[in-house]
Amino acid sequence: MEDIRNYESMSVQEKWNMLAMVANLYYNSELTQNQIAERLYTSRSKVSRMLKEARELGIVEIHIREPWERHLEYEQKLKQDYGIKNVRIIKQKDMDTEKVRELIYEAAAYYLDSIIKKDMTVGISWGNTLYHVVKYIAANNHKNIPINVVPIMGAANINSPEKDGLDLSKDLASAYGGKYQYIYAPLFVKNREIKESLIQDENIEGALKLAKNADIILTSVGSIVYKSWSNYLSAKTLETLEKKGVVGHIGGHFFDIQGQELETALSERMIGIDMEDLKQCPETICIALGEKKAEAVLGAVRGGYIGALIIDEKCAKRIFRLQ
């Protein structure tokens, strides 16, 4: 066996053999990095660097078999067209809508779990999609990662409070064994003066600041076509927004098909983070399902509000037809 202490002066072939040997001890013989270091009379950090080098050189290839099939060609096209960092598009095949929904929720939970780290702050919106994602995480998560969770906007007046950002922030924090914080204010208030007064409250101001500086934001997109806020906004208001060119909304902010935010009387009365905060967040994850969400998703990606996108194949196909 070559002396690992001479590693730096080895030939390319000798280094390759040494890296393969270390990788074999770690992945096949299941020795720990400390055990390998003791056997080779070196440090654990040296072994760690060699394992990393083995992966970079292709000596070690790690294949993660996800329990769903992805449309990789569509994913690559969306990345190239709009500069989205991470895309997951679930193939439909002959699955019924309910099965596709379950896979979307599972893929979203899996993705969040792969990036979340200790002491991160996670901002969360509200709605049916996020409710099911959080529900899946709560049922399947076995990790204890102390994180902070906060809603990205005030409480919505919806018929199912468990789907509101307040309850979802609590449930998501509980799933990871973390902490949560509320925004003790409604999403929309009567006028701008009331808004300005409320956001100066110490508790509300602190929660908003936390949301604005979140490491991860978990959201979906509301669709004007889908009338996703029909229980919250009047039919007349929705019609007015549609006439102005609105196709979707995130966190109470409305935008057109090009991703331009449209100023409305609602935005002046809204308590929550700004669209610019979505852009600045290191990881804004959007989850959406179905063709009717395509226009809203397209507007959101064109506006640069999304860093990671998880959708189904039908939604993706509709997006490409809209381009």
pLDDT-derived band at 316, boundaries 50, 70, 90: very high
Q: What is the distance between the alpha carbons of residues 314 and 294, in angstroms, rounded to a whole number?
A: 9
User: Hey, which residues does 261 pair with through a beta bridge?
Assistant: 255
Distance CA 312, CA 292 (A): 12
Query: What burial letters (b/e) apply to 66-98, b meaning 16+ CB within 10 Å?
Result: eeeebbeebbebbeeebebebbbbbbbeebeee
- Which domains does the chain carry? 4-56 (1.10.10), 72-322 (3.40.50.1360)
Output the pLDDT for position 171.
93
pLDDT of residue 164: 77
Question: What letter represents residue 34's amino acid?
Answer: N
Q: How far apart are CA 66 and CA 135, in angstroms?
A: 20
SS3 call for 43 = coil
d(CA 268, CA 273): 12
> Is 80 exceeded by the pLDDT of residue 228?
no
Q: Order of strands, edge to edge, in the sheet holding 253-255?
A: 222-223, 248-250, 253-255
Give tens-digit pLDDT for 256-308: 999 999 887 788 888 999 999 999 999 999 999 999 999 999 999 999 999 99
Residue type, 194: I
Contact 180, 170 (CB under 8 A): yes
Query: Could you give the CA distance from residue 152 to residue 166 in angstroms, rounded to a whole number?
Result: 9
* Half-sphere exposure of residue 303: CA atoms within 13 angstroms, side-chain side: 31
Distances (CA, A) of 137 to 102, 141, 214: 12, 5, 19
Helix (H, G, I), strand (E, B) or coil at 244: coil
Query: Cα dist. 234→132, 158, 257, 272 in Å?
Result: 26, 13, 22, 21
Q: Mean pLDDT over residues 222-228, rounded?
A: 75
pLDDT (tens digit, 9 = 90+) per residue, 149-163?
999 999 876 666 667
Task: Map residue 133 onto helix, strand or coil.
Answer: helix
Residue of 292, 316, 120, 139 whose CA lies nearest to 218: 120
How far is Cα 306 from Cα 280, in angstroms, rounded to an integer?
Answer: 10
| CA-angle at 39, arms to 38 and 43, nearest 5° | 40
Stretch 173-182: mean pLDDT, rounded? 93
Residue that wins the pLDDT comparison between 109 and 157: 109
Residue with tokens 């990345």: 79
Residue pLDDT, tens place only, 1-37: 456 767 777 888 888 888 999 999 998 888 999 999 8
Confidence of residue 231 (pLDDT cuts 50, 70, 90): low
